[in-house]
Amino acid sequence: MIESKAQRVCGVEIAGNEAIITILLMEDDMFFLPECRVNRIACKDPDNVSELKYFQKTFMKLAEDYKINHIVIRERQKKGKFAGGANGFKLEAVLQVAPGLDVVLMNPTIQKQHLKHYPMPITFAETGLKKFQEPSYTTAFAFFAGKHEW
């Protein structure tokens, strides 16, 4: 039996109290967008420990079900005009410490560098994803672009 070398990445953008996600699959240097049962995972109340645990457990189950190898979170600014909110940083931290998940933060500057060396082969409009998923899709693609020699 031949072992598959497929890699699945879940790109994540934290926005408010939710993680917007896109799963991207790469196999034999070809990219695929597998169907996914959700395009966002929300945390109703990030100040409530049980809600944070439920958010984490939901994300871990998604990663298990879709055999995700890496979770790549689009890093947000910690200070300044476009700084992320406290609730978003809580969600980010909960994912980073989740047992069994390989989580990476990707700086937008690094993301742009990766995409400069290997631009996306199709426009976002051609993906069929929802417009709000564009940052998570771009983050997932940039992860692959940075990890592989083209």
**Chain centroid offset of residue 37 CA:** 15
Within 13 Å, how many C-alpha atoms sit on residue 11's CB side?
A: 26
Contact 96, 103 (CB under 8 A): yes
- pLDDT at residue 80 in the model: 67
- pLDDT at residue 2 in the model: 43
| Residue 1 in this model has a pLDDT that exceeds 50 | no
Rounded mean pLDDT of 62-88?
85
Backbone angles phi, psi at 144, to 5 degrees: -60, -45
Instruction: Kindly state whether residue 1 falls inside one of the protein's structural domains.
Output: no
Q: pTM score, two decimals?
A: 0.89
Instruction: Kindly state whether residue 117 falls inside one of the protein's structural domains.
Output: yes
Instruction: Kindly state whether residue 2 falls inside one of the protein's structural domains.
Output: no
Instruction: Kindly state whether residue 58 falls inside one of the protein's structural domains.
Output: yes
Tally of domains within the chain = 1
CATH of residue 94's domain is 3.30.420.10
Percent above pLDDT 70 for the chain: 92
Q: What count of other Cβ atoms lies within 10 Å of the Cβ of residue 54?
A: 14
β-bridge partners, 42: 18
Rounded mean pLDDT of 46-75?
96
Instruction: Kindly state whether residue 13 falls inside one of the protein's structural domains.
Output: yes
Contact 69, 77 (CB under 8 A): no
Residues 9-57 have pLDDT tens digits of: 999 999 989 999 999 998 887 889 999 999 999 999 999 999 999 999 9
Residue 54 lies in domain: 7-147
Mean pLDDT of the chain: 89
Instruction: Kindly state whether residue 33 falls inside one of the protein's structural domains.
Output: yes
With CA atoms as reference, report the closest residue to 105 among 21, 3, 12, 6: 12
What's the CA gap between 81 and 79, in Å, rounded?
A: 7
For residue 149, name the pLDDT band (cuts at 50, 70, 90): very low
- pLDDT at residue 148 in the model: 57
- pLDDT at residue 105 in the model: 94
Instruction: Kindly state whether residue 128 falls inside one of the protein's structural domains.
Output: yes
For residue 147, name the pLDDT band (cuts at 50, 70, 90): confident
